């Protein structure tokens, strides 16, 4: 699902772009990134984090987003960079070969994807064995996700239990995980290793 105009205004602010890049770098630290590796950001928005990673770490970066306007914005910011490409596509149907990427990251996107488990299946498919999956997003308690799913059809409601089940079932190892909880919103950031 595309972001609303208000969300885009926030995401396109200089402050948010800087924070997105800093957050991506913090989590990338746990993924043992090496120059020339292939990095995919699912739901890259305006490309702030992806561009920062491409410049600083010299990775071959691909950013995808379902919103053509955000991809157009990202492409305008990469003039002169040859190690980064942006595409419009859906996270649940990635146009890449199996095992194409050393690192796949998603920052604050899964709650915009109604069938977010299908997006995780695609992420696992394009991730190389021996690669890393970086996740940062809202997560919901089971009861809250169940409640909202009855009324709101265009959003995803990831739960920590469902994500943990997916990670364990697919034999990922948790390298780093941090969970912050408030009365309404819970956030999870994690880096997972996908063993060969």
Assign domain 5-194 to a CATH class: alpha beta
How many other C-beta atoms lie within 10 A of the C-beta of residue 166? 18
Mean pLDDT highest for which of 11-20, 145-154, 161-170? 161-170
DSSP secondary structure, 78-109, as one string: TTT-SSEEEEE--TTS--S-TT-EEEEEEES-
Mean pLDDT highest for which of 4-13, 51-60, 143-152, 174-183? 51-60
Q: Report how far residue 54's alpha carbon sits from residue 48's, in angstroms, rounded to the nearest whole number.
A: 10
Residue ranges per domain, the chain? Answer: 5-194
Question: Is the pLDDT score of 25 beyond 80?
Answer: yes
pTM, two decimal places: 0.89
């Amino acid at each position: 699902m595309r972001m609303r105009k208000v969300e885009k205004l926030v995401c396109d602010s200089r402050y948010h772009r800087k924070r997105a890049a800093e957050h991506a770098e913090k989590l990338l630290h746990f993924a043992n990134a090496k120059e020339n590796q292939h990095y995919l950001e699912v739901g890259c928005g305006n490309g702030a984090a992806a561009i920062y990673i491409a410049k600083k770490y010299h990775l071959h970066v691909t950013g995808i987003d379902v919103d053509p306007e955000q991809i157009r914005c990202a492409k305008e910011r990469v003039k002169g960079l040859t190690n980064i490409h942006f595409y419009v596509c859906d996270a649940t149907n990635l146009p890449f070969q199996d095992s194409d990427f050393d690192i796949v990251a998603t920052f604050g996107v899964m709650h915009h994807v109604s069938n977010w488990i299908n997006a995780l299946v695609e992420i696992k498919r394009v991730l190389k064995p021996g690669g890393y999956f970086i996740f940062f997003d809202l997560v919901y308690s089971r009861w809250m996700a169940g409640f909202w799913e009855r009324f709101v059809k265009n959003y995803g409601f990831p739960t920590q239990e469902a994500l943990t089940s997916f990670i364990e079932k697919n034999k990922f190892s948790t390298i780093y995980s941090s969970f912050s909880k408030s009365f309404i919103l819970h956030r999870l950031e994690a880096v997972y290793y996908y063993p060969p």
